[in-house]
Amino acid sequence: MIITKPRDWARIRAGLDSVGARRLFCVGCGQCATVAGTGGEKEVAEAIVRLEGEGFSVTGYTIGEVACHLGGIALETRKHADEIAAADAVVVFSCGSGVQTVADSVEKPVFPALESVFLGNVVRHGVFEERCQMCGDCVLDLTAGICPVTTCPKGLLNGPCGGMWDGMCEVVSERECTHVRIRKRLLSQGRGDAGVIPPKDCSVKLRPGALDMRGKRRGARQAEQHDKRRSEQLGDDRPGDRKSGR
């Protein structure tokens, strides 16, 4: 899920003041921001109380089922068209994707109430950890399901680095080195060393990302070409002198 945290209130206020907004419509998100405890019913209701306490008037609010779903938000904003028309601006309690979805669906200035911080796992209620940076060229098959790109603070594909001490990470000293964890897990599964992982194929991560699953034939061909390139890299010609790479 996308992990969000509340945006600095003064920045939200400054944005609203910049367009002279006094009447607001609020949009929350029923998925990630609800689970993160930043943009669900409770947080939006609390923000409305705060906004009204600071002299704003709130014309209405909605918690979209999924704030980043263009069709769903278009429907939701149509349902609340009168309340949105009565507002000077819309405040969105979701990740940046959701904010942009709302901005595409209304003709009012739109302001984010949250900061999007990472794609994360829920460790326990209110505790989140980043595990994947969506690099588009996954190596988890080689690393026993532990992502070196994300969980090694240096993002090293091959390690450990020279700073590892007694199995622990140089940068986050209370954490075991990612590459030690990878090695231990591979061995516990009866698998050999991962060997040297070649540099990642950054061409698969062009921005902005776009994927059309309806174009299966073209997508399948691209995937096939990518897999071929990757297996060639992982084959006998792998660069033996490379000790780290992204």
Closer Cβ to ligand SF4, 171 or 223, answer by number: 171
Establish if 186 lies at the interface with ligand SF4 (CB under 6 A). Answer: no
Establish if 101 lies at the interface with ligand SF4 (CB under 6 A). Answer: no
Rounded Cα–Cα distance for residues 229 and 176 (Å): 33
Judged by CB under 6 A, the residue of 37, 60, 96, 153 near ligand SF4 is 153
Establish if 146 lies at the interface with ligand SF4 (CB under 6 A). Answer: no
DSSP 47-98: HHHHHHHTT-EEEEEEEESSTT-HHHHHHHHHHTHHHHHT-SEEEEES-HHH
Closer Cβ to ligand SF4, 79 or 242, answer by number: 242
Q: Provide the 3-class DSSP secondary structure of residue 110.
A: strand
Establish if 245 lies at the interface with ligand SF4 (CB under 6 A). Answer: no
Judged by CB under 6 A, the residue of 88, 130, 170, 201 near ligand SF4 is 170
Establish if 204 lies at the interface with ligand SF4 (CB under 6 A). Answer: no
CB of 173 to ligand SF4, least distance (A): 9
AA identity, residue 141: D
Q: Provide the 3-class DSSP secondary structure of residue 19.
A: coil
Establish if 198 lies at the interface with ligand SF4 (CB under 6 A). Answer: no
AA identity, residue 153: P
Closer Cβ to ligand SF4, 20 or 193, answer by number: 193
> Please, is 74 exposed, middle or buried when counting C-beta atoms within 10 Å of its C-beta (0-12, 13-18, 19+)?
middle
CB of 177 to ligand SF4, least distance (A): 3
Task: Return all residues near 28 (Cβ < 8 A) that are at least 6 apart.
Answer: 34, 39, 40, 41, 43, 44, 61, 62, 63, 64, 67, 93, 94
- Residues at the contact surface with ligand SF4, assessed by CB under 6 A: 132-135, 138-140, 147, 149-150, 152-154, 156, 159-161, 163-164, 169-171, 177-179
